[in-house]
Amino acid sequence: MKYLLIIPSIDIKHGKTVRVVQGIPELNCKEYGSDPVEMARIWRAENCKFIHIVDFDAAADHSHENLPIIEQICSSVIIPVQFAGGIRNIDDVKIMMDTGISRLVMSTMAIEKPDEFKKIFEKYGPAKISISLDIIDEELVIKGRKIKTGINYKEFAKKMAEMGVERFIVTDVLRNGILGGPNLLYSKEVAEITNAKVTLSGGIRNKDELMDVQNLLFNNIDSVIVGRALYENRFPCQKLWRVAESGIFQ
């Protein structure tokens, strides 16, 4: 029996843990404590098995100001850390891999520099490189979710799967950070089209909605990234993870 992996998101801006509504810092940026490293330790103490980090400074300005924090997080917890934000070239990839992250999530570069992305993917492979699909009304958005591409997410996902991508992180941007409920359709369609593993991101409000995603495990949707609902204690985190591990979470 398989169980849903719940992944806390640590969104970093100017060295602090924040929750950014719809991925747009200018729209609303609420702080949740000043120390992302301590936040990672808290989630690990709550028995989480995987952490997702988004660097909004890197995504918006190609800044490396949060790099020491990411290195500290990787060295402070003994669980895999996934990173997204601001990857523009192969040097950025090497810099991030050297921090100790286990997996890099990319989007902008795969769209704007497909040849360079292909070289990176061939070097590091599908275990280390995943694709983020940030979607607004079925259209992919990039560069910190600020730029519309005119590219349909299903067409792009299929193309990436043909290259060998085995993991997609699917986000309905309009539901991200507003507790609007998850968009199950986007994730289901990506899983069906690509036959790849899918992590659903955005909109989760409560345990019932986690159960809705749990019911899609047979569709290759095996994990969910949760941010605001965890930070605002909308369900008891420790009990949540331990129930999942005990086999009761079905």
**Residue 232's pLDDT is what?**
78
By percentage, how much of the chain surpasses pLDDT 90?
60
CA–CA gap between residue 2 and residue 91 (Å, rounded): 37
Planar angle of CA 202, 50, 230, nearest 5 degrees = 45
**Whether pLDDT at 25 is above 50:** no
Helix (H) or strand (E) holding 118: helix 114-124
Mean pLDDT across the stretch 1-19? 87
pLDDT tops 90 at residue 131:
yes
Q: pLDDT band for position 32 (50/70/90)?
A: low
pLDDT of amino acid 185: 95
**Mean pLDDT of all residues in 94-116:** 96
Which residues are catalytically annotated?
11, 134
pLDDT at 22: 47
**Per-residue pLDDT at 249:** 33
Residue 27: the pLDDT is: 41
**Phi and psi, residue 204, nearest 5°:** -60, 130
Lowest average pLDDT, out of 8-12, 27-31, 189-193, 216-220, goes to: 27-31
Structural domains of the chain, with CATH: 5-246 (3.20.20.70)
* Contacts for 40-43: CB closer than 8 Å, 24+ residues apart: 40/10, 40/73, 40/76, 40/77, 40/81, 41/76, 41/77, 43/8, 43/10, 43/77, 43/230, 43/237
SS3 sequence, 54-117?
EEHHHHHHCCCCCHHHHHHHHHHCCCCEEEECCCCCHHHHHHHHCCCCCEEEECHHHHHCHHHH
Decide if pLDDT at 52 tops 90: yes
In terms of phi and psi (left: phi > 0; alpha: psi -120 to 50; beta: otherwise), the region of 96 is: alpha
Tokens at 13, concatenated: 């801006």
In this prediction, residue 177 carries a pLDDT of: 63
- Please choose, from the candidates 82, 84, 32, 30, the residue with its C-alpha nearest in 3D space to the C-alpha of residue 57: 84
What are the tens digits of pLDDT across the range 186-237?
999 999 999 999 999 988 888 888 888 988 888 899 999 998 888 877 776 5
- The pLDDT-based confidence of 248 (bands split at 50, 70, 90) is very low
- pLDDT (0 to 100) of residue 246: 46
Per-residue model confidence as pLDDT tens digits over 67-92: 999 999 999 999 999 999 999 999 99
